[in-house]
Amino acid sequence: MGCTFFIQTLGCPKNEADSGMLEARLSAAGHRPAAAGSADVIVVNTCGFIDAAKEESIAAILDAAEAAHARGARIAAVGCLVERYREELEREIPEVDVWCGLDPTALLAAVHGFAGEVDGGSAGGPSLRRSTRAAPPRLRRPRPVSAYIKVSDGCDRRCSFCAIPLIKGGYDAVSADGILRAARAHLDAGARELVLVGQDTSRWTEAGWGGMRRLLAELASLESAPAWLRLLYLQPDGVTDELLEALATYAVPYVDVPLQHASGAVLRRMRRSGDAAAHLELLERVRSVLPGAAVRSTFITGFPGETDADFEELMGFIEQAGLAVAGVFVYDEQEGTAAVGMPDAVPRQVALERAALLGEALDREADRYWKALRGTEVEVLVERGTADARGLAVGRIALQAPDVDGRTTLVGAPCRRGDLVPAVVRDTLGYDVEAVASGGP
Ligand code: SF4
């Protein structure tokens, strides 16, 4: 009869997509999703990108192991962190029942074995609590309004700070057929927004089939057409005019482009292209095709050799960039990457201070972007509805990506999860938006 499972996802939206695929594989094998407090197996999908993410993943594994074992459930740790540090983790955290890297075969086999214990009892070792329910526990979490779809894995670029190619290997595109199949499944399950993710999304193409423009066109014309299509992780040199035209035609006006720095000298040491002038030219092209687009980015402070002048150049760029939102990371050396041992390391305290200053500047500049939306007409994709016109619904406008950006509260109309409600922006608070349904009070 199979096991029940709960997947806890750490890290970025790409990991959400992996968890979605894992859920589909486990479900296809006869297991069923359940709430964390009642599942037979807790699966922690880890992130190994930077030290903070590793620590968060390890803390999540320990917490989940304690909670699972207290009620006789099993714990599996999977994903990037396990792929990279399996031996050390196995040694340090013996509480985990199953370790599995990026290939889920071992997890599927182990869960199959646990299911045998649930159904028939175990010959030895800690056995799973037998379910006394006649019917499988229902998944309490509603199906997401937004679904992540992975269009590729791995990366052929070799940014000197990044461990992703070491963990995930080279760039590997998912087939058009696979992407469209996943999209149909998500839409049939009630998703209204499809978010395409990969390490280098703009690069997606399939020989003899076409590139991102055709993919977006096909996704937009699926029978239960998505309300919104969104692309995350566009590398700057992949943001071509053709891609921008495709976004303007088929997707939301949202450009997620990790710039990482604005000093050409720092970017060269990072093994990346561009500088402040090139970034500004890129942003101008974005806005000429997608006026008012939300541009999201990420930046690193304290990369080896970053001088006060480099940092000032970055701050100057931020004042002109008009970004809607950005993440700031303090450089964190990753073993095996080309940046290890680079000269002129920046003291941690200096890197932290620069990150704080950069964060303040980004908040200040972003505030201008969001405030300018006051009084404009938008559509709100409802994630939590209300039956009462005086009640408060919660969702997002197209300029806000799921999980990583702000939210929108909506008043003035009863609405249901998944509805797309025309509204007017009444106010903004930081990265959050307050909207009133058109025709509402
Ligand atoms: S583009 Fe650079 S930062 Fe992004 S995944 Fe590839 S190597 Fe890492």
pLDDT tens digits, 311-335: 999 999 999 999 999 999 999 999 9
77-91, 111-125, 256-270: least confidently modelled range:
111-125
What does the pLDDT read at residue 212?
A: 96
pLDDT tens digits, 18-56: 887 788 788 888 888 888 888 899 999 988 777 777 888
Burial class from Cβ neighbours inside 10 Å (0-12, 13-18, 19+) for residue 349 reads exposed
Average pLDDT over residues 211-222: 96
Residues with CB under 6 A from ligand 1: 155, 157-159, 162, 164-165, 199-200, 235
Report the candidate in 63, 30, 31 with the shortest Cα–Cα distance to residue 46: 63
Write out the DSSP string of 215-278. Answer: HHHHHHTSTT--SEEEE----GGG--HHHHHHHHHHS-SEEE---B-S-HHHHHHTT----HHH
Closest residue (by CA) to atom 8 of ligand 1?
162
**155: which residues sit within 8 A by CB, 6+ positions away?**
162, 164, 165, 168, 170, 171, 199, 200
What does the pLDDT read at residue 142?
A: 53
pLDDT tens digits, 418-433: 999 999 999 999 999 9
pLDDT tens digits, 54-68: 888 888 888 888 888
Distance CA 369, CA 372 (A): 5
Residue whose structure tokens are 């700031």: 328
Whether 54 and 47 have beta carbons less than 8 Å apart is answered as: yes
Pocket mutation for ligand 1, best pick of 47, 84, 159 (most atoms within 8 Å of C-beta): 159
What is the location of CATH 3.80.30.20 in the chain? 146-371
What is the location of CATH 2.40.50.140 in the chain? 377-437
Q: Classify domain 4-120 by CATH number.
A: 3.40.50.12160
pLDDT tens digits, 115-170: 877 665 443 333 444 333 333 333 344 568 999 999 999 999 999 999 999 988 99
Report the mean per-residue pLDDT for the chain: 89
What is the location of CATH 3.40.50.12160 in the chain? 4-120
Average pLDDT over residues 348-371: 97
Q: Is residue 90 very low, low, confident or very high in pLDDT (cuts 50, 70, 90)?
A: confident
Residue 181, pLDDT above cutoff 80: yes
Report the candidate in 160, 102, 153, 128 with the shortest Cα–Cα distance to residue 42: 128
Which architecture, in CATH terms, is 377-437? Answer: Beta Barrel (2.40)
Domain 146-371 CATH class label: alpha beta
- Nearest atom of ligand 1 to the alpha carbon of 163: 8
Residue 351, pLDDT above cutoff 80: yes
What does the pLDDT read at residue 127?
A: 43
